Amino acid sequence: MTDNKGNHKLDPHYQKAKREGYRARSAYKLLDIQKRYNIFKRAFKILDLGCAPGSWLQVTKKFAEDNIIKYNDQYYHRDNYIILGVDIKNVSPIEKVDILRMDFTEPIFQNKITSYFDGKIDLILSDASVNKSGNKFTDHLKQIHLCYAILELAKIHLKYKGVLVMKTFQGSDYDSLIRTFKPEFRILKTYKPASSKKRSNEIYLVGLQKK
């Protein structure tokens, strides 16, 4: 949604989300990323960090269900998918999707992942954002710190050749994050979806083929 609460309903992406049944306009950011990089290819075990209000989970479920049919062959058949969403906020239920209310930066969450997925994860998504204070510099540093926590989690739980997508903010420590991120993946892309607000400094890091 737009920052101006009085005008957010005029936003075309907001209106489109309402028509198509998505919980938020952010669904189109993930759809843009998928269209560009095909991140859901053969993804059956998927973790969504900072999943509130659930629009990314809605998109994820759609592609996971499609994959059951699409990759039904002798080489890569799966009978089911596993999707886990995590957020400190309450998220309304979505059928066949598990949602955990907790802070994913807490050490105990590592145990939750291990027991839930029973193996490595195909795709980790994060549209998580720190609570903005209005100070762009402070918010940027907090978001970068969050991104490092997500990257460490991916190092442990993301499978070989898996995919990581996460939101960050451009600013003074952005280049340092890129330098840390890059060695972990064969391909690193930075992408600002068409549905992102032009004035926003948000950008998405897409790590393809984890080493």
What are the boundaries of each domain within the chain?
27-210
* Confidence check: pLDDT of 1 > 60: no
What digits encode the pLDDT tens for the residues 35-94? Answer: 999 999 999 999 999 999 999 999 999 999 999 988 877 667 788 999 999 999 999 999
The sign of the CA dihedral 172, 173, 179, 182 is negative
On average, the pLDDT of the chain sits at 90
Q: Is 107 exposed, middle or buried (0-12, 13-18, 19+ CB in 10 A)?
A: exposed
- Give the right CATH number for 27-210 from 3.40.50.150, 3.20.20.70, 2.120.10.80, 3.40.50.620: 3.40.50.150
* Confidence check: pLDDT of 134 > 90: no
Q: How confident is the model at residue 162 (pLDDT cuts 50, 70, 90)?
A: very high
Which positions are catalytic?
167
* Confidence check: pLDDT of 5 > 60: no
- Farthest-apart Cα atoms in the chain, separation: 54
Whole-structure pTM value: 0.91
